[in-house]
């Protein structure tokens, strides 16, 4: 990190942030409230970093009256990402977005850079940051092409998005600050200014571990939630109970437009074809939260495998190497895992978020966080703890 940038930002809990006006984090996770979506167990951290080698770094820009944005970087492994590419798959539910690097993922089925999330108008700056960081790595003097993978959602409802406050150095700081371990969630990084279902959205994460009889693999998910619909938690239409949802009284009181980026990591030895299938099943988890999949939403899922046996190393790319992969007939448990982890990651992004105030186009905007206690009471009325099958 440059000396100038270090003087502006402070590091806390795996994130790099400008001063935070929200105060202490008073929210909790869905699981901490006694709710456990699905049937599979989580990893130790219940985070994408439960997949060995995956690291996450975040820069939070939250200052002044109207800067509410940031960067979240996901590192697929700790080695040379460009030389040792990971197989990857991409699925799009609704393509109203600006996902840089998408066509090369589809064409070649691999990723050669960090995966960076930010706001819509900062994709260019993020690409520059990824490219500059990649070119600066050891033994990269011969590189003349980098497929920077940058996803986005539009945080203009809370952020001075036209101010272009995310700069390449913020992206580099997020990449270089990436760590394994717990991942900060809620109003941090690329989720600092996002809105979901009319409430504060953000960054969320979750994981699932398969038993050894089903392969013993881990699936981890990280989301940037910024979309609308009828908020549904653990099968309960919480949004209607709270009186806030798309098409209430057949009037667009709450616009459903927005986007979500879903990043899926696994240590299962999957081909890019089966990673594409895995990414598609993430949308099952998205649907369970009540997503509207609206015309103006960009709904993207990227999945990659960290398994060394399927990594596209320089030697494997130059030789006629045989790569073994997990068979189609054993994919179903992984599909269940990614759906469950996606659903929980999204809810965690909202449970962990904090009420955010900003000045947008000259007027004050306040986006409230979910009242976790109120939501808990709604869930308890619908099905008290211990009563679900």
Q: What are the residue numbers of the active site?
A: 259, 297, 299
354: exposed, middle or buried (C-beta count within 10 Å: 0-12, 13-18, 19+)?
Answer: buried
CB 333 within 8 A of CB 215: yes
Phi, psi (degrees; rounded to nearest 5) at 206? -165, 165
- Report the C-alpha gap between 214 and 221 in whole angstroms: 19
What one-character DSSP code corresponds to residue 219?
A: E
Q: Of 58, 134, 111, nearest to 306 (Cα)?
A: 111
Based on its alpha-carbon atoms, the radius of gyration of the chain, rounded to whole angstroms, reads 20
- Report the C-alpha gap between 205 and 220 in whole angstroms: 7
Give the torsion sign (CA, 335, 53, 168, 62).
positive
Grouping H, G, I as helix, E, B as strand and the rest as coil, residue 179 is strand
- Report the C-alpha gap between 203 and 357 in whole angstroms: 18
């Amino acid at each position: 990190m440059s000396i100038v940038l270090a003087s502006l930002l402070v590091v806390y809990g795996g994130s790099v942030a400008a001063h935070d006006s929200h105060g202490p984090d008073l929210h909790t996770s869905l699981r901490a409230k006694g709710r456990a979506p699905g049937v599979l167990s989580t990893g130790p951290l219940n985070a994408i970093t439960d997949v060995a080698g995956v690291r996450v770094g975040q820069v939070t820009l939250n200052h002044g009256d109207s800067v509410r944005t940031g960067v979240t970087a996901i590192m697929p492994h700790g080695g040379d990402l460009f030389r040792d590419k990971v197989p990857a798959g991409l699925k799009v539910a609704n393509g109203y977005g600006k996902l840089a690097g998408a066509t090369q993922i589809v064409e070649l089925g691999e990723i050669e850079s960090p995966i960076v999330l930010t706001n819509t108008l900062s994709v260019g700056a993020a690409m520059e940051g990824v490219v500059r960081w990649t070119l600066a790595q050891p033994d990269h003097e011969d590189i003349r092409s980098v497929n920077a993978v940058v996803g986005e959602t539009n945080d203009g409802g809370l952020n001075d998005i036209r101010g272009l406050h995310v700069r390449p150095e913020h992206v580099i700081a997020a990449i270089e600050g990436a760590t394994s371990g717990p991942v900060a969630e809620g109003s941090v990084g690329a989720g600092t200014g996002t809105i979901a279902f009319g409430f504060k959205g953000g960054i969320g994460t979750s994981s699932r571990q398969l038993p050894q009889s089903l392969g013993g693999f881990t699936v981890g998910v990280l989301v940037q939630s910024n979309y609308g619909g009828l908020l549904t938690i653990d099968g309960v239409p919480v949004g209607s109970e709270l009186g806030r949802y798309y098409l209430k009284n057949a009037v667009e009181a709450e616009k459903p437009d927005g986007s979500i980026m879903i990043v899926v990591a696994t240590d299962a030895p999957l081909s890019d074809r089966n990673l594409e299938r895995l990414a598609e099943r993430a949308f099952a988890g998205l649907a369970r939260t009540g997503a509207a999949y609206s015309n103006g939403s960009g709904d993207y899922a990227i999945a990659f495998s960290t398994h060394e046996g399927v990594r596209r190393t320089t030697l494997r790319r130059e030789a006629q190497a045989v790569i073994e992969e997990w068979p189609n007939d054993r994919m179903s448990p992984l599909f269940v895992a990614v759906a469950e982890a996606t659903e929980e990651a999204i809810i965690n992004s909202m449970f962990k978020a904090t009420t955010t105030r900003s000045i947008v186009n000259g007027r004050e905007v306040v986006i409230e966080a979910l009242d976790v206690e109120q939501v808990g009471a709604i869930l308890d009325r619908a099905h008290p703890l211990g009563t679900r099958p």
